Amino acid sequence: MGLKYKAAVLHAPKSPLLVETIEAEELKADDVLVRIRAVGLCHTDLEVIEGALRNPMPIVLGHEAAGVVEKVGSQARGVAVGDHVILSWNPHCGHCFYCDRDLPILCEDYLRQSPLAVQFDGASRARLADGRELKHLMYLGALAEYCIVPAQQAIVVQKELPFEQACLIGCGVMTGVGGALNVASIRHGDTVMVIGCGAVGLSAVQGARLAGAGAIIAVDLEDNKLDLAKRLGATHAVNVSRDDAVDFARKLTRGRGADVVLESAGHPRAFRLSSEAVRPGGEVIWLGKVDVETDVAFRWGSLMQEKRIRRSSYGGARPLRDFPLLAQAALDGRLLLDELITARIALEQVNGGFDALKRGAAIRSVVVF
């Protein structure tokens, strides 16, 4: 008989998650059993709930998580019982065409298995009480009291960092900070624009600050989010419901535009704005996303003049390197994480947490066990 524990299960799109008791499979040789202590509610989870991201069901959501290792398999390496870990949703084989080119986010095994919502070896690690197999979102399924993952996905970090802050590093913070530090080419004194001030955008603001940007223009539709962006490092704020962000950037830069634009709103208008606001020869990093079947239109002239545009899903993450570095930056006070947490909730309040995210009323609601 396997371990029994509570999890938030989605049985069909556009329906509430059900908190129910599920049963874990036995650990395989390279597996790690993690007792989850905190999970952030992310827009990717919401996309599955809304049906914009298609996954087989029933499925356990949750991919931004931190916890404590309770058991390790006989061949698990680099992690021990009692370690505090942040979970990574990007396992990779390490030897395919893309892994050999330092692009683990494009690992062939990772991309092939991801739509199946299984673990990295192609199997599930949990079942419903009636014996039906459960699926796992993004190789994790961490909206649960426990999670079983391969050792490579359990990244050991400093025990001093509170779990509800640590979990944010696993997705939103890594994507935003990494987008600025790992993916973009921000030079000291550059003018950087960040479009969209949710968890990823606010993290990108902090990444731009850590990179030494001279001016950071935060762009959003809500004044309260812009106020928070200024607390986290933005030097200027533009509410695009009232003001023209392109005009603002050009006036600030003698008519050129922003050196780097980080888009994190995930809206067709924001993608278009990013191409208009960046200067000739500048760089655009798209961190946000829309439904994969959605068309996004651009003015052709905005794409010319040697502009560079790149999409990044995980901020160039190398979790073994980056998670401890970001955790230490938080402990040192250089990376502010607690400010991103709108609410701490129980697992039974998960549907209300996602409702708040959908309404734009929350930066991050964190389920705390």
What's the rounded Cα separation, in Å, for the pair 361 and 353?
9
pLDDT score of 121 more than 90: yes
**Phi, psi angle pair for 68, to nearest 5°:** -120, 135
Give the span between the Cα atoms of 57 and 64, in whole angstroms. Answer: 20
Judge if 196 and 299 occupy the same domain.
yes
One-letter amino acid at 69 equals: V
Other Cβ atoms closer than 10 A to 15? 12
Closest C-alpha among 323, 282, 351, 289 to residue 43: 289
Q: Is residue 243 a part of any domain in this protein? A: yes
Q: Hey, what are 275's tokens?
A: 């191409």
The average pLDDT across 117-145 equals 95
SS3 246: helix
Work out whether strand 135-136 and strand 59-60 pair parallel, antiparallel, or are unpaired: parallel
Q: How many domains does the chain have?
A: 2
Q: First-to-last CA distance in the chain?
A: 24
The chain-wide mean pLDDT, for the chain, equals 96
Question: CB-hemisphere CA count at 13 Å for 198?
Answer: 27
Does any domain span residue 317? no
What is the band of 2 on the pLDDT scale with cuts at 50, 70, 90?
confident
Task: Give me the pLDDT at residue 293, please.
Answer: 87
Helix, strand or coil for residue 23? strand
Contact between residue 232 and residue 337 where contact means Cβ atoms under 8 Å apart: no
Write out the H or E segment, with its range, that includes residue 199: helix 199-211
Q: What is the rounded CA–CA span in Å between residue 64 and residue 120?
A: 17
User: How many CB atoms lie under 10 A from the CB of residue 338?
Assistant: 10
Shared domain check, 41 and 121: yes
Taking only the tens place, the pLDDT of each residue in 68-117 is 999 999 999 999 999 999 999 999 999 999 999 999 999 999 999 999 99
**pLDDT single digits (tens) 180-234:** 999 999 999 999 999 999 999 999 999 999 999 999 999 999 999 999 999 999 9
pLDDT at 328: 98
Residues 241-266 have a mean pLDDT of 97
Mode of pairing for the β-strands spanning 146-150 and 31-40: antiparallel
Taking the whole predicted model, whether its pTM rises above 0.85 is answered as: yes
Q: Please indicate, yes or no, whether residues 152 and 221 belong to a single structural domain of this protein.
A: no
Task: Residue 189: give its domain's CATH number.
Answer: 3.40.50.720
Cβ-contact 315, 338 below 8 angstroms: no
Q: How far apart are CA 226 and CA 360, in angstroms?
A: 13
| Same domain assignment for residues 19 and 152 | yes
Q: How confident is the model at residue 52 (pLDDT cuts 50, 70, 90)?
A: confident
Range of the domain at 202: 175-311
- Token couple for 135: 């699926």
Q: Write down the pLDDT at residue 57.
A: 96
Residue 295 has pLDDT above 80, yes or no: yes
Q: 351 CB contacts (<8 Å, ≥6 apart)?
A: 16, 17
CATH number of the domain enclosing 33:
3.90.180.10
At 24, the pLDDT band (50, 70, 90 cuts) reads: very high
- Residue 106 sits in the same domain as residue 191: no
Residue 165 falls inside a structural domain: no
Handedness of CA 221, 284, 54, 142 (dihedral sign): negative
Has residue 1 got a pLDDT over 90? no
* Residue 192 and residue 48 share a domain: no
Q: Let me know if residue 168 belongs to a domain.
A: no
Q: What is the pLDDT of residues 280-290, one digit of tens each?
A: 999 999 999 98
Per residue in 338-349, pLDDT (tens digit) is: 999 999 999 999
Task: Please tell me whether residues 304 and 351 are part of one structural domain.
Answer: no
